Amino acid sequence: GAGVSQSPRYKVAKRGQDVALRCDPISGHVSLFWYQQALGQGPEFLTYFQNEAQLDKSGLPSDRFFAERPEGSVSTLKIQRTQQEDSAVYLCASSLVPGPYGYTFGSGTRLTVV
Amino acid sequence: GQQVMQIPQYQHVQEGEDFTTYCNSSTTLSNIQWYKQRPGGHPVFLIQLVKSGEVKKQKRLTFQFGEAKKNSSLHITATQTTDVGTYFCAGPNAGGTSYGKLTFGQGTILTVHP
């Protein structure tokens, strides 16, 4: 596609509910990143994929967070047993090749846990 | 770990005034990237600076990378209401498995009064 597509755009979850957030990167982009952005803050790194390999998951806040990219294209970020502190915007970004180059971000999923 | 700090946190200007935001890293950076996020939007890549002392211009925007490659600035000449948003700098982590993983500053929120 022309850009990075994320769905849903908004998600309200009851505390304890599991959620799944989807990212469809630009076709052919090798690198895929998930970031979490709290209100009024800069994006914070969660995890990184190069093709289907998850090379870094050091930013995932707890073992309730899980991400996958099984075929090296679409990625899903799953949060189990959501907590209020999980409320944030979850941004997906991709880049054509691995390296310290500019990302293309998706529009994000705003998760609100009530 | 790597820290990226930005000042000021907020800047209010009258339309036509100039604006500058500063970015400082706790470590030497291989490059520095700048992003703009409009209210309610997602970060959009503006530019990447790589060389020590590099200066790049995009119309009314001037980006500078410090000689020591630990600081950077973004200057906007004669601001317009379309410049409203949050400006983030971001630096890649040196080494590690996430080649391309970025650490973002907390951003400078620019408001422009017409």
- When CB atoms are compared, the residue of B31, B43, B97 closest to A100 is B31
> Is the Cβ pair B33, A102 closer than 8 Å?
yes
- Check: CB of residue A27 under 8 Å from CB of residue A92: no
First to last CA, chain A: 33
Q: Determine the Cα angle at B104 with ends B88 and B101, to 5°.
A: 130
Instruction: Tell me the shortest Cα–Cα distance from B21 to chain A, in angstroms.
Output: 15
For every one of its 114 residues, what pLDDT tens digit does chain B have, with 9 covering 90 and above?
789 999 999 999 999 999 999 999 999 988 999 999 999 999 999 999 999 999 999 999 999 999 999 999 999 999 999 999 999 999 987 655 556 788 999 999 999 999
Residue among B107, B112, B108 nearest B82 (CA): B112
- Which SS3 state, helix, strand or coil, does residue B15 take? coil
Confidence of residue A100 (pLDDT cuts 50, 70, 90): confident
What are the angstrom distances between the C-alpha of A71 and each of A19, A43, A52, B56? 21, 26, 6, 38
Amino acid at A5: S
The per-residue pLDDT for range A71-97, each reduced to its tens digit, is 999 999 999 999 999 999 999 999 988
Euclidean distance between CA atoms B80 and B97, whole angstroms:
41
